[in-house]
Amino acid sequence: MFKKTKIVATIGPVSENQKTMEKMIKAGMNVIRLNFSHGNYGEHLKRIKLAREAGKKFEKPIAVLQDLCGPKIRIGDFYKESIVLKEGQIFTLTTKKCVGNEKKVFINYNRLPKEIKKGAKIMLNDGKNELLTEKISGNDIHCRIIIGGEIKGRRGVNFPGASLSIGSLTTKDKKDALFGIKHKVDFMAISFVKSAKDILELKNIIKKHNANIKIIAKIEIQDAIKNIDGIIEAADAVLVARGDLAVEVPMEQVPILQKMIIKKSNATGKPVIIATQMLESMIRNSLPTRAEVNDIANAVLDGADAVMLSEETTLGRYPVKAVETMARIVGYTEKKLNYEEILNRHRLKEKNVADSISFAVVNVAHNIGAKAIVALTESGFTSKMISRYRPQQPILALTSNRKTFSQLALNFGCHPRLMKKFDGLSSVISEAKKLSVKYKMAGKGDKIVITAGIPFGKSGGTNLLIAQTI
């Protein structure tokens, strides 16, 4: 059984050792996520090396996703570990540095008093506490506590509906990006994206250093929803960050927005990752809740390329079991997909040659009952185009490019393998048959569909389709 939906797992204290990393790969992890909101460069470099060594041991691509921190607005520290906000009382956010108490606390965005408006809603602590802006004077924003409760220092702040001028790339992000470029990460996720302009800024930094790194746009604020089409077009992939998104918009809207983002991403062939609280109960418990099982299955049914684990694999008691559980859920759900209906739904009215060939590859594979699709690809373009049509067969993506080998780890249904440079059609067909058998995707008498671009080695030129019997 070849799992098609990819699993992104965040690496942290409980998973940053060789034994656990190898077990997580065997369980079904495809991509490691490094959260640059936490940790130092030494810790992150150790995790990169561990993942690459383990991937090499299993002859399996393990992509490295660097998640940039972004402009997270936070409150400062309190005079003690936590305080209690009492509903109905006034609580002041100030841009003047101070030690917080029950009446006021520092906030780290100095332009906020000029950009927030009276009557604006302010959410603290991932939406657990709610304030209403009543008065703004100088450095101070005086608010009424609408939803109180306990709160600790350095918690995040959200401003639903407000459009702040703060940029998506901070000075820290730009410095962190240089670290990622130096150590050849495969993906960079940009946080709190507002428009395509934010993505282009990061692309220019990457291009300036001649790096091959794909950009993932995290959708987590209202501005991103408004500009979703431009963002998907500019990005290489999309991540639905449901945590902050559910604070920025009414939480009941998030499931519908998730489906909309997946649909738009599928239509353009851009991988889409669903994240946040997918197996949160497994931070402490060895089994998921029924709602979590449904959540993961529905993400697959909607068309997600990947699902993501966060604290489950950084701080949780069961990091390996969380990956195993997720792999089992997506694997079973994939068996129940109506692949013919998906193919017809994704049929486009206007196609270029490469897109038409990719559609035909999946259609022919379905009609002849092929066991595998073999895609010879230098840049990954051929495999990505086929992946968008969600074939029932595994896609054996053969490439001589090590970066392509790693980056295809994120695409639905793709199973990348390294091979020597392609040399002539007859040798390509022979190699495709041999490797299909070697990797147990097909056997003697089985049919496979081979696709590539001629001349070999030229990026983006998918124009060949061959059906063969082994």
Task: Please say if 276 is a catalytic residue.
Answer: yes
Task: Please say if 47 is a catalytic residue.
Answer: no
Task: Please say if 218 is a catalytic residue.
Answer: yes
Q: Is the pLDDT of residue 461 over 70?
A: no
pLDDT at position 287 is 98
> HSE of 215 in the Cβ direction (CA atoms, 13 Å)?
25
pLDDT at position 324 is 99
The whole-model pTM stands at 0.94
pLDDT at position 457 is 62
Pairwise CA distance, residues 216 & 235, whole Å:
6
Locate the domains of the chain by residue range. 6-71+168-334, 82-158, 340-469
Domain 340-469 in CATH 3.40.1380.20? The answer is yes
Pairwise CA distance, residues 24 & 18, whole Å:
10
Residue linked to tokens 């010879």: 376
pLDDT at position 108 is 95
For 201-210, what is the mean pLDDT? 98
For 76-80, what is the mean pLDDT? 97
456 band by pLDDT with thresholds 50, 70 and 90: low
Identify the active-site residue in 74, 128, 417, 447: 74
Q: Do domains 82-158 and 340-469 have the same CATH topology?
A: no
pLDDT at position 126 is 85
Identify the active-site residue in 218, 242, 270, 321: 218
For 52-77, what is the mean pLDDT? 96
CATH entry, 82-158, from 3.30.1490.190, 3.40.50.300, 2.40.33.10, 2.60.40.10: 2.40.33.10
Q: Which two tokens stand for residue 159?
A: 């401003």
pLDDT digits (tens, 9 = 90+) for 105-116: 999 999 999 999
What share of the chain has pLDDT > 70, as a percent?
97
163 band by pLDDT with thresholds 50, 70 and 90: confident
Q: What is the distance between the terminal CA atoms of the chain, rounded to a whole angstrom? A: 20
Identify the active-site residue in 5, 10, 92, 276: 276
> Exposed, middle or buried: residue 443 (CB in 10 Å: 0-12, 13-18, 19+)?
exposed
pLDDT digits (tens, 9 = 90+) for 289-344: 999 999 999 999 999 999 999 999 999 999 999 999 999 999 999 999 999 999 98
420 band by pLDDT with thresholds 50, 70 and 90: confident
Average pLDDT taken over every residue of the chain: 95
Higher pLDDT, 72 or 240: 240
- Contacts of 299 by beta carbon, 8 Å cutoff, 6+ apart: 258, 262, 274, 278, 307
pLDDT at position 459 is 63
> Exposed, middle or buried: residue 423 (CB in 10 Å: 0-12, 13-18, 19+)?
exposed
What share of the chain has pLDDT > 90, as a percent?
89
Identify the active-site residue in 4, 6, 23, 33: 33
Omega within 30 of 0 (cis) for the link into 61: no
For 114-134, what is the mean pLDDT? 96
258 band by pLDDT with thresholds 50, 70 and 90: very high
Task: Please say if 175 is a catalytic residue.
Answer: no
Q: Is the pLDDT of residue 253 over 60?
A: yes
Class of domain 6-71+168-334: alpha beta
Q: Is the pLDDT of residue 355 over 90?
A: no
DSSP letter at 156?
A: B
Cβ(149)–Cβ(129) below 8 Å: yes
For 233-259, what is the mean pLDDT? 97
Q: Is the pLDDT of residue 100 over 80?
A: yes
Q: Is the pLDDT of residue 350 over 60?
A: no
Higher pLDDT, 420 or 215: 215
pLDDT at position 147 is 98
